Amino acid sequence: MKFFVDTADTAEITELAATGLLDGVTTNPSLIQKAGRDFIEVVREICGIVPGPVSAEVVALDHDGMMREAEILRKVADNVCIKVPLTIDGLKTCKALSSDGTMVNVTLCFSANQALLAAKAGASFISPFVGRHDDVGFDGMQLIADIRTIYDNYDFGTEILVASVRHPVHVLESAKIGADVMTAPPAVIRALFNHPLTEKGIQGFLADWAKTGQKIG
């Protein structure tokens, strides 16, 4: 499963990219607002940090407006992935862009039927929001399982990009189901490293090493 980080904080992205675990980045208008920087500038910087897809979201709601914004965004770098909402105009834009060879991430997916439509429109990625789905009493992981079944039934090339990831269990369950990608905030990715027995083991080894009185180098 590919790991994307969901942030517009370039310092966080740089640090995580150094681990070799980062395959891409997702951003959205809220994350850009939080970063407090110029949209185009920050997208260009992120694209220089990671070679994988960097999702940059249009804000227009009509097809013509989305296409105008997408034309600007896809000139920023070769690895820009245009992010569009799962609406009729969004899917019209997805079809037009994907037919022209541009990567498209269709976002705000909350049903398997919506995911089916996005795949038929040629989306590179579909972003089902599992955390938000859970928030309103639905099973986010069941949504991922349903999409996986449908895509496998018809051999769609669209990758399932699990979004709105809230905790490490979401990552684990997504991997078990066979999602192609997950995107999570930096804190969730860092939490994947944590286990009390790992920390306990390190402390035990260090204590025993100190008793030897030795140094390396």
pLDDT of residue 22: 97
pLDDT of residue 3: 98
When computed from its CA atoms, the radius of gyration of the chain, rounded to whole angstroms, is: 20
DSSP 127: E
pLDDT digits over 105-151, tens only? 999 999 999 999 999 999 999 999 999 999 999 999 999 999 999 99
Distance of alpha carbon 13 from the chain centroid: 12
pLDDT of residue 60: 98
Tokens of 20: 């070799």
Q: Is 83 a known active-site residue?
A: yes
Partners of residue 81 on adjacent β-strands: 55
* pTM, two decimal places: 0.96
pLDDT digits over 10-47, tens only? 999 999 999 999 999 999 999 999 999 999 999 999 99
CA 126/CA 109 separation, integer angstroms? 7
CA atoms in the 13 A half-sphere facing the CB of 80: 25
pLDDT of residue 106: 98
> Exposed, middle or buried, 87 (CB in 10 Å: 0-12/13-18/19+)?
middle
Q: Residue 51: pLDDT band by 50, 70, 90 thresholds?
A: very high
**List 2, 83, 95, 176, catalytic entry:** 83
pLDDT of residue 89: 98
Amino acid of residue 179: A
pLDDT of residue 144: 98
How many residues in the chain?
Answer: 217
- Domains with residue ranges and CATH for the chain: 2-212 (3.20.20.70)
CA 128/CA 207 separation, integer angstroms? 46
pLDDT of residue 153: 98
